[in-house]
Amino acid sequence: AQSVTQPDIHITVSEGASLELRCNYSYGATPYLFWYVQSPGQGLQLLLKYFSGDTLVQGIKGFEAEFKRSQSSFNLRKPSVHWSDAAEYFCAVVPMNRDDKIIFGKGTRLHILP
């Protein structure tokens, strides 16, 4: 079955440390790829997206993600996290050969240690 997997439900890192959040998808063709962030009590906000071209994508708030076709992955990275990055992060895909329904992963909650 087609799916989006975020294998880590919770991740804890120290402020200033680097961060990588994992996302894998299972589709035949390269989908459109997204990362959204949800701060406590808020809706989701787009961090970055990949449609085509350069596989390293820059987003807002210093985040970047790299699309790796061979691994069916779209991992989110940040070199140095800030306390304000504590939030829930959602990977999402839209398969190119289907209708337009976006499919979300179940999310990874990021905790920041001072």
Given the rule CB under 8 A, which residues bind other proteins? 9, 31-32, 34, 36, 41-46, 49, 51, 90, 94-96, 98, 100-102, 104-107
Supply the minimum distance, in Å, between the C-beta of residue 77 and other proteins. Answer: 21
41 vs 114 by CB, closer to other proteins: 41
Six-digit token string for 50: 């990949």
Residue number, 15 or 38, with CB nearest to other proteins = 38
Query: Residue 85 carries which side chain, given as an amino acid letter?
Result: D
Least separation, in Å, of the C-beta of 80 and other proteins? 27
**Would you list the DSSP string of 31-95?**
-EEEEEEE-TTS-EEEEEEE-SS-SEEE-GGG-EEEEEGGGTEEEEEESS--GGG-EEEEEEEE-
Nearer to other proteins, 3 or 18 (CB): 3
